[in-house]
Amino acid sequence: MTRTAAEAPPAERPRRAGGRGRRWGLLGCGVALIAPAALLVVRLTGLDAGTPLAMPMVLFPWTTVLGVLVLSLLAAVPALRSRWALAGTAALVIAHAVLLAPRFLSDGPQVPEGAVELRVATINTNGGAADAQAVVRLVRTERIDVLAVQQMPAGGVEALDRAGLGALLPHQELHPEYDSSVYSRLPLSGAGTSRADTAWPQTVAEVAVGGRSVQFVAVHTYYPLGSPERWTRDMAALTSLARRAGPDTVFLGDFNASLDHAPMRDLLAAGLTDTHAELGHGWAPTWPVGGALVPPVAQLDHVLHGSGLAGVSVGERTVPGTDHRAVVAVLALLPEKERVRSRQWWGAAGPVTGGESGVMDTTSFARRFLEGSADDGRESVNAHHCTADYAEHDPNMEQETVRLAESTRSHREVREASEVTRTVQSSVAKGGLVCSRFIIHGHHTGDCRGNQPSGRAFETTRHVTSWFEQGRIAESWFDYDRGGALEQVGAPPDTGL
């Protein structure tokens, strides 16, 4: 009998079946590696900032695990072994490992024996659903000094008060309307809310400890699922705050960001350290919790600190009722010589802080801002005393609200036309606000806003309220006797001076 060409030898059929299995196996491995490869590209390029790619970016560590599993499968199954597949997968896994490894290596500064310590914690209460008694037990057990709370409405504040939190942390800066609050065992100063460009104000406060003033920012950003653009702006605003902050600073709360998000890396690059990464706790998912089937997948809650402090310990605690784990950290104040950034935050030509405590004398600072000097010029004065996003409000100006550049231009125009000098008579400070009364003396020698020079001298009283944010003036509200000044120089009442 003659075998036809269409008939395959019996020995060839298993080989063909095995070849098809190998191809399907390699194809499956390739499909499994799409996510690790795609997120690696996003991680390296920062494409998650302001885009929907921010959501899957929280899974970056999980995709690393997936890559390791695929690499192990390729190496363990002879039928799947391929030089190119093994090399490509190994390169992918190594790239992931290089990015993740630093956060698993403890690299914080050595904490000297006897250093002053602060025990801090942060918890998102999930709209007040967290068990109030459990929160109080956490504070008591961990001996918390400062607690930051997010997503706690007025009802949640009342529940915590009934549970006895006030007896443990009697000093409070509560802003349930803004989604973040601060509780403290130690007295608070400079407490209030930030003027940063976030979706809602962030609660801020200072605590005096060990002869120093430690600034706290209770963070809760917008969430990228709702608007990645708004979330990115929130993170950028926090980065701006961090750049202006001193070394004794703690940002803690729900950032809605992991260490793999580009905006979070920008925030850390502004001078902050993530306590988990500092101590080698590189993967500590805090959200979501409470689900029977889904484990925590992302670390959204963090304790970040400036170079004046160092992490001693950090951990997560489960509190019934909320979908976030609480984060508890112990921070030590480093000696002056070990602080990376000096207490004089703004450079040799800028303002200095006062006293051994490092607490700024805001009234003297405001005096220097108002009086300035003819030699420095207004540009120099503003640059050293105002934040980059400074806002000035003055109903007597052509525009009632102006930013730093326009304020500088307007003040220069008036100064050149009127040879004005400013003398501060009195100042009162409370928290982040300074109210000053000062006298303006001038000689109308140049054209100003259409008023021809009269050669007359004038004197008028002005008041200004300035808001300080992380050591500089972020906003000012001016008012003065405009009519009296115009009358003295003989200018029409409906013009400016």
Report pLDDT digits (tens) over 363-383.
Answer: 777 777 777 644 344 555 666
Reported as a single tens digit per residue, the pLDDT across 113-153 is 889 999 999 999 999 999 999 999 999 999 999 999 999 99
Question: What is the pLDDT at residue 187?
Answer: 96
| Mean per-residue pLDDT of the chain | 84
Query: Quick one: what percent of the chain has pLDDT higher than 70?
Result: 83
Question: What is the pLDDT at residue 461?
Answer: 83
What CA–CA distance (Å, rounded) separates 145 from 169? 7
Joined tokens for residue 391: 């806002």
Joined tokens for residue 42: 């996003």
Joined tokens for residue 149: 């709370």
What CA–CA distance (Å, rounded) separates 340 from 405? 31
- Nearest to 325, CA basis, from 298, 343, 346: 298
In the predicted model, what is the mean pLDDT of residues 303-321?
A: 96
Question: What is the pLDDT at residue 12?
Answer: 54
Strands 249-254 and 212-220: parallel
Only one residue has tokens 């009697």, namely 170
CATH number of 362-489: 3.10.450.50
Instruction: Look at the chain and count its residues.
Output: 497
Lowest mean pLDDT of 90-104, 141-155, 436-450, name the range: 436-450
Q: Does domain 105-338 have CATH number 3.60.10.10?
A: yes
Lowest mean pLDDT of 160-174, 267-281, 320-334, 350-364, name the range: 350-364
**Burial class, 14, CB count within 10 angstroms (exposed 0-12 / middle 13-18 / buried 19+):** exposed
Joined tokens for residue 381: 């004065």
pLDDT tops 50 at residue 356: no
Fold identical between 105-338 and 362-489?
Answer: no
Give the residue, 354 or 490, on which the prediction is more confident: 490
Contact 345, 359 (CB under 8 A): no
Lowest mean pLDDT of 19-23, 337-341, 398-402, 403-407, name the range: 337-341
Task: Give residue 494's pLDDT band: very low, low, confident or very high (50, 70, 90).
Answer: low
In the predicted model, what is the mean pLDDT of residues 35-50?
A: 96
Question: What is the pLDDT at residue 4?
Answer: 53
Give the residue, 7 or 103, on which the prediction is more confident: 103
Q: What is the pTM of this model?
A: 0.67
Question: What is the pLDDT at residue 449?
Answer: 57
Backbone φ, ψ for residue 313 (5° rounding): -155, 160
Domain locations in the chain?
Answer: 12-102, 105-338, 362-489
Give the residue, 175 or 449, on which the prediction is more confident: 175
Contact 321, 126 (CB under 8 A): yes
Find the Cα–Cα–Cα–Cα dihedral 276, 282, 284, 285, rounded to 10°: 120
Reported as a single tens digit per residue, the pLDDT across 264-295 is 999 999 999 999 999 999 999 999 998 767 88
Question: What is the pLDDT at residue 14?
Answer: 55
Question: What is the pLDDT at residue 409?
Answer: 79
Question: What is the pLDDT at residue 489?
Answer: 67
pLDDT tops 80 at residue 354: no
Backbone φ, ψ for residue 23 (5° rounding): -65, -45
Contacts of 473 (CB under 8 A, 6+ apart): 365, 366, 369, 385, 386, 387, 390, 466, 467
Lowest mean pLDDT of 91-105, 188-202, 212-226, name the range: 188-202
pLDDT tops 50 at residue 335: yes
Contact 89, 82 (CB under 8 A): no
In the predicted model, what is the mean pLDDT of residues 139-168?
A: 97
In the predicted model, what is the mean pLDDT of residues 167-187?
A: 96
What is the SS3 string spanning the chain? CCCCCCCCCCCHHHHHHHHHHHHHHHHHHHHHCHHHHHHHHHHHHCCCCCCCCHHHHCCHHHHHHHHHHHHHHHHHCHHHCCHHHHHHHHHHHHHHHHHHHHHHCCCCCCCCCCCCEEEEEEEECCCCCCCHHHHHHHHHHHCCCEEEEECCCHHHHHHHHHCCHHHHCCEEECCHHHCEEEEECCCEEEEEECCCCCCCCCEEEEEEECCEEEEEEEEECCCCCCCHHHHHHHHHHHHHHHHHCCCCEEEEEECCCCCCCHHHHHHHHCCCEEHHHHCCCCCCCCECCCCCCCCCCECCEEEEECCCEEEEEEEEECCCCCCCCEEEEEEEECCHHHCCCCCCCCCCCCCCCCCCCCCCCHHHHHHHHHHCCCCCHHHHHHHHHEEEEEEEECCCCCCCEEEHHHHHHHHHHHHHHHCCEEEEEEEEEECCEEEEEEEEEEECCCCECCECCCCCEEEEEEEEEEEEECCEEEEEEEEECHHHHHHHHCCCCCCCC
In the predicted model, what is the mean pLDDT of residues 448-467?
A: 76
What CA–CA distance (Å, rounded) separates 302 from 270? 16
Cα–Cα distances in angstroms (integers) from residue 377 to residues 363, 382, 384, 416, 421, in the given order: 21, 9, 11, 11, 12
In the predicted model, what is the mean pLDDT of residues 323-344?
A: 76
Give the residue, 402 or 377, on which the prediction is more confident: 402
Cα–Cα distances in angstroms (integers) from residue 387 to residues 38, 57, 240, 245, in the given order: 39, 32, 9, 11
